[in-house]
């Protein structure tokens, strides 16, 4: 069984390819913010990173949605895909590839991959009977249906009875190989709760799944039978491989796989876990391709403790959320307040309280007051070197171990732990100033003590900004530039061209005599203007 090459200095990761039945909702934004934070972290480590996102654009659900809106399916897909790209720009998402399954290059990859699987004998024609949910693009077991033949996932949608000829993929052939994969690589599916779900599902026995539909125009043609179109999941999962192609190369499977495959990390919502953790690995086994590194399924979001939906009138519009509060505030709240992998809740009052307390009061106030004192007492420069700080200085003691803890948390996608660890240093910096009272020391003529206090706090601020830069890049940039650096954490080229991790992540590297800029607020307190809930379809 082929595994990823861990020696490569590349890191490829994906969000799901989002379904274009409607404009992006906050759940899509949540996954993508997390992916962007991982990508930014890996770039700081000196990795060559490829962040893939995009849209899944085929299937009956898309065709019906477009028809109901009086559009052609392609025009509908173009409009919704543009909506995703616009939101990602507003959220400061630095994606490298936007994969669309309607792209001509994608069809070439799907066809070549299909031929590989076809040649193994893993595809066959049979009859499919059962209850089908158009919204899920999936057949449902009758025992799982809700009263009134409603889908257990889309509870307001009735399933449809289907009795049709389909082509099937021999998933059952790969049960033992999949179980071996999960055993040999216990971190392949994360978090542990998701892994247990998959192990339980697979242990009950795998059934072959349908990979074609009949009487459907909106989809890729089935290569060996023009009466059929390729089923959306077999098509959509291959969008990850299509995205690996450089723009100017021929769309062949060999070219697509040459540099970035296998993908290191698939980030998904737990509702599509089975497709990514069972179907996708089996398809790759059939095509004799290496497995991805990790599949991480995060939880669902609620609002004020309730499931979001049009009937509740409580859907969060991510565009309005960013417009009202700014990208960094939104990124910080969702990645700090929700343990990644678990279900989480959005409450607007808690949102405002959290970002005001952490970003405005603790971090922003610390930056402002310390810079002001540095200008007043030290002539507006960094007064000493980090090596001049005593080893028992409490901020130095905390700072010297903080990077290792933050890096470990980033590697484990524990964004909330990163934020809490960094904010502990920030809060300690505020307490350190209050306890040492450099204004009193200055009046007493204890200038060396003043310099030690201010350097310790300024360096702690710098380290905090550095370690939080994958999550709040704009605020981190503002802090760094007020400290006299020219670094912009949104400048990928600059980040990639300097060995920033070796110095940036270590406490004590703020250089003496560097000129400081005048302090300006790095984050302004926010107030409630209006609710960001909108009656949109999730």
For 274-297, how does the pLDDT look when each residue is reduced to its tens digit (9 = 90+)? 999 999 999 999 999 999 999 999
Please tell me the predicted confidence (pLDDT) of residue 498.
59
C-alpha 1/C-alpha 177 separation (Å) is: 8
pLDDT at 537 over 50: no
Cα gap 416→413, rounded to integer Å: 9
| Closest C-alpha among 320, 338, 326 to residue 533 | 320
pTM, rounded to two decimals: 0.92
Upper half-sphere CA count for residue 137 (Cβ side, 13 Å)? 27
Q: How far apart are CA 98 and CA 26, in angstroms?
A: 19
Candidate from 127-131, 135-139, 192-196, 527-531 with smallest mean pLDDT: 527-531
Q: CB of 98 within 8 A of CB of 85?
A: yes
Q: Is 251 left (phi over 0), alpha (psi -120 to 50) or beta?
A: beta
* Interval 133-183: pLDDT, tens: 877 777 787 878 898 888 887 777 889 888 889 999 999 999 999 999 999
Pairing mode of beta strands 123-133, 138-140: antiparallel
Query: DSSP alpha helices (H): ranges in 358-393?
Result: 365-378
* DSSP letter for each residue of 213-267: EES--SSPBPTT-TTEEE-HHHHHHTHHHHTTS-TTS---HHHHHSSSPSPSEEE
Which one, of 273, 275, 294, 277, lies nearest residue 185 by Cα?
Answer: 294
Instruction: Tell me 185's DSSP state.
Output: -
Geometric angle at alpha carbon 119, from 118 and 120, rounded to 5°: 90
Note the pLDDT tens digit of each residue in 400-431: 999 999 999 999 999 999 999 999 999 999 99
The tokens for 502 are: 């070796």
Strand partners, 190: 296
Token output for 266: 């698939």
If you average pLDDT over residues 113-122, what whole number do you get? 98
Distance CA 420, CA 426 (A): 10
Predicted pLDDT at 153: 76
* CA atoms of 174 and 186, how far apart (whole Å): 18
Q: What is the token pair recorded at 252?
A: 């062949």
Q: Using the predicted structure, report yes or no on whether residue 534 has a pLDDT greater than 50.
A: no
The pLDDT of residue 312 is 58
Whether 367 shows a pLDDT value over 70: the answer reads yes
In the structure encoding, which two tokens stand for residue 418, read together? 């990163």
In this structure, of 97-101, 347-351, 474-478, 493-497, the range with the lowest mean pLDDT score is 493-497
- pLDDT of 506 strictly over 70: yes
pLDDT of residue 199: 97
pLDDT higher than 60, residue 311:
no
Within 10 Å of residue 403's Cβ, how many Cβ atoms?
Answer: 18
pLDDT at residue 24 is higher than 90? no
3-class SS of residue 491: coil
Between CA 152 and CA 157 the distance in angstroms is: 9
Burial letters for 484-494: b for 16+ Cβ neighbours within 10 Å, e otherwise?
Answer: bbebbbeeeee
CA pair distance 293, 115, nearest whole angstrom: 25
| Both tokens assigned to 288 | 């004799």
What mean pLDDT is reported for the chain? 91
Confidence of residue 313 (pLDDT cuts 50, 70, 90): low
Q: Report pLDDT digits (tens) over 205-253.
A: 999 999 999 888 899 999 999 999 998 889 999 999 999 999 999 999 9
- Give Cα separations from 164 to 114, 126, 167, 191 (angstroms): 21, 9, 10, 38
Tell me how many degrees the CA angle 219-222-226 measures, rounded to the nearest 5.
100
Cis status, amide bond into 191, omega within 30 of 0: yes
Task: For residues 229 and 114, give the distance between their C-alpha atoms in angstroms, rounded to a whole number.
Answer: 12
d(CA 201, CA 130) in angstroms, rounded, equals 20
Instruction: Report the sign of the C-alpha dihedral through residues 21, 27, 33, 38, in that order.
Output: negative
Task: Please name the residue ranges forming H helices in 143-231.
Answer: 175-184, 192-203
Kindly tell me if the per-residue pLDDT of 204 is higher than 70. yes
């Amino acid at each position: 069984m082929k595994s990823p090459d861990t020696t490569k200095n590349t890191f490829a990761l994906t969000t799901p390819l989002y379904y274009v039945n409607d404009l992006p909702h906050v759940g899509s934004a949540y996954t993508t913010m997390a992916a962007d934070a991982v990508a930014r972290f890996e770039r700081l480590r000196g990795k060559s990173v490829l962040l893939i996102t995009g849209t899944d654009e085929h299937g009956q659900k898309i065709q019906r949605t477009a028809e109901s809106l009086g559009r052609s399916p392609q025009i509908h897909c173009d409009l919704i895909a543009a909506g995703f790209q616009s939101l990602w720009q507003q959220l400061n998402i630095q994606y490298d590839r936007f994969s669309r399954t309607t792209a001509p290059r994608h069809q070439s990859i799907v066809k070549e991959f299909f031929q590989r699987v076809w040649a193994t004998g893993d595809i066959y024609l049979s009859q499919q009977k059962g209850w089908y949910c158009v919204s899920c693009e999936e057949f449902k077991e009758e025992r799982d249906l809700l009263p009134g033949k409603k889908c257990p996932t889309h509870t307001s949608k009735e399933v449809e009875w289907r009795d049709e000829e389909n082509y099937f993929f021999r998933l059952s052939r790969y049960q033992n190989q999949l179980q071996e994969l999960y055993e040999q690589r216990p971190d392949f599916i994360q978090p542990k709760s998701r892994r247990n779900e998959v192990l339980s599902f697979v242990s009950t026995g795998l059934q072959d799944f349908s990979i074609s539909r009949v009487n459907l125009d909106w989809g890729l043609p089935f290569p060996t039978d023009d009466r059929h179109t390729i089923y959306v999941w077999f098509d959509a999962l291959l969008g990850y491989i299509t995205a690996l192609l450089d723009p100017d190369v021929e769309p062949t499977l060999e070219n697509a796989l040459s540099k970035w495959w296998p993908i290191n990390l698939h980030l998904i919502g737990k509702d599509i876990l089975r497709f990514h953790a069972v179907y996708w690995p089996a398809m790759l086994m059939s095509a004799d391709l290496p497995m991805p590194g990790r599949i991480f399924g995060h939880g669902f979001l609620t609002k004020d403790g309730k499931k979001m939906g049009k009937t509740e009138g409580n859907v969060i519009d991510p565009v309005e959320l960013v417009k009202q509060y700014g990208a960094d505030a939104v990124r910080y709240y969702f990645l700090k307040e929700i343990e990644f992998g678990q279900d989480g809740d959005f409450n607007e009052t808690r949102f405002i309280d959290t970002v005001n307390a952490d970003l405005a009061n603790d971090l922003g106030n610390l930056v402002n007051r310390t810079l002001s004192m540095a200008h007043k007492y030290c002539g507006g420069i960094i007064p000493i070197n980090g090596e001049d700080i005593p080893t028992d200085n409490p901020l130095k003691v905390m700072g010297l171990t903080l990077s290792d803890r933050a890096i470990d948390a980033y590697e484990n996608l524990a964004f909330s732990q990163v934020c809490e660890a960094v904010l502990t240093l920030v809060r300690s910096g505020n307490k350190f100033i209050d306890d040492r009272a450099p204004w009193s020391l200055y009046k007493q003529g204890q200038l060396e003590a003043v310099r030690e206090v201010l350097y310790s706090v300024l360096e702690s601020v710098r380290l905090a900004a550095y370690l939080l830069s994958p999550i709040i890049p704009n605020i981190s940039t503002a802090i760094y530039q007020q400290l006299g650096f020219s670094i912009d954490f949104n400048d990928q080229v600059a980040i990639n061209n300097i060995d920033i991790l070796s110095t940036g992540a270590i406490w004590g590297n703020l250089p003496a005599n560097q000129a400081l800029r005048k302090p300006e607020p790095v984050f302004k307190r926010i107030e409630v203007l209006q609710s960001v809930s909108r009656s949109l379809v999730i």
